[in-house]
């Protein structure tokens, strides 16, 4: 099941009778990062919830591999796909390590205890998000940014083929923003599928392979990073913007 693709066809996403995304049709390719961009309220989070199978859709089809996502048990989905929400619920008073190892639950039989290997994977995930020294601390002592990185560690401990992350760098300082994005880049290079929302198109250009632009009125554009041009970016954010090249990198600036 390694390298399993996530596909959607003719997918409609609405809220309160408002069409946000219409006839979405694309395949998320293993080994790539897809960055979902758009203004606030254009349906980025709802789209990610839908793709993760956590929200029903009005029309279309969503497949994990060759099967309809709706026909697969949530446990089986969780063995293949991890979702990191934008807002994390207040955790129980557990240690950071105990929270991280909870990512193994989809792989563990009911009433079975976590193994030494499960804890080793959890510790590795904590180390990858710079929380290795926090293992025995209470989650309730963590800052907002530290909790954000812990949520990513839980997803990594889940060992999925597909990572779906809603604003993964929210609450993070610049150092940890880059650290997390570089980590996700490595995971994609190892063969995982990464789908994430971002607010900064420059970070999307730096780390992404594909972009999905959501305009909030049903329209969308999907393609490689060349779709981030002056016209599309300016329309997307409803403010004049321009793409420029500095050395060998494309960047977006306000004008």
* pTM metric for this prediction: 0.95
pLDDT of the residue at 92? 75
- pLDDT at residue number 237: 96
Which residue has better confidence, 88 or 202?
Answer: 202
Say whether pLDDT at 218 is over 80. yes
Backbone angles phi, psi at 46, to 5 degrees: -65, -35
Over residues 196-208, mean pLDDT: 96
When the pLDDT of each residue in the chain is averaged and rounded to a whole number, the result is 94
- The rounded distance, in Å, linking the Cα atoms of 198 and 167 is 6
The stretch 226-249 carries a mean pLDDT of 93
Q: What is the dihedral of CA 192, 198, 200, 202, to 10 degrees?
A: 20
Give the per-residue pLDDT at 187.
97
Where would I find the H helices in the chain? Answer: 44-51, 74-80, 96-101, 116-128, 144-157, 174-189, 201-207, 230-237
Supply the pLDDT for residue 247: 85
What pLDDT band is residue 1 in, cutting at 50, 70 and 90?
A: very low
For the chain, percent of residues with pLDDT exceeding 90: 85
**How much is the pLDDT for 205?**
96
Mean pLDDT check: name the lowest of 107-111, 119-123, 158-162, 237-241: 107-111
Instruction: Supply the DSSP symbol for 224.
Output: E
| pLDDT at residue 110, rounded to an integer | 76
Predicted confidence (pLDDT) per residue in 117-168, tens digit: 999 999 999 999 999 999 999 999 999 999 999 999 999 999 999 999 999 9
Q: Span 105-125, mean pLDDT?
A: 91
């Amino acid at each position: 099941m390694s390298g399993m693709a996530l596909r959607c066809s003719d997918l409609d996403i609405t809220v309160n009778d408002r069409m946000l995304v219409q006839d979405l049709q694309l395949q998320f390719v293993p080994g790539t990062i897809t960055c979902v961009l758009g203004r606030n309220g254009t349906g980025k989070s709802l789209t990610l919830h839908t793709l993760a199978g956590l929200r029903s859709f009005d029309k279309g089809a969503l497949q994990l591999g060759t099967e309809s996502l709706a026909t697969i048990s949530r446990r089986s989905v969780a063995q293949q796909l991890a979702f990191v929400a934008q807002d994390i619920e207040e955790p129980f008073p557990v240690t950071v390590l105990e929270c991280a190892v909870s990512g193994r639950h989809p792989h563990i039989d009911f009433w079975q205890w976590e193994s030494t290997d499960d804890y080793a994977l959890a510790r590795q995930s904590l180390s990858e998000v710079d929380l290795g020294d926090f293992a025995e601390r209470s989650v309730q002592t963590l800052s907002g940014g530290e909790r954000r990185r812990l949520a990513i560690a839980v997803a990594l401990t889940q060992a999925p083929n597909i990572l779906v992350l809603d604003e993964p760098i929210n609450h993070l300082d610049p150092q940890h923003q880059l650290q997390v994005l570089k980590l996700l880049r490595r995971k994609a290079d190892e063969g995982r599928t990464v789908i994430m929302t971002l607010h900064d198109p420059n970070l999307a250009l730096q780390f992404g392979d594909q972009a999905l632009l959501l305009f909030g009125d049903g329209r969308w554009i999907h393609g490689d990073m060349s779709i981030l041009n002056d016209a599309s970016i300016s329309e997307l954010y409803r403010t004049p913007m321009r793409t420029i090249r500095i050395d060998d990198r494309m960047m977006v600036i306000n004008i």
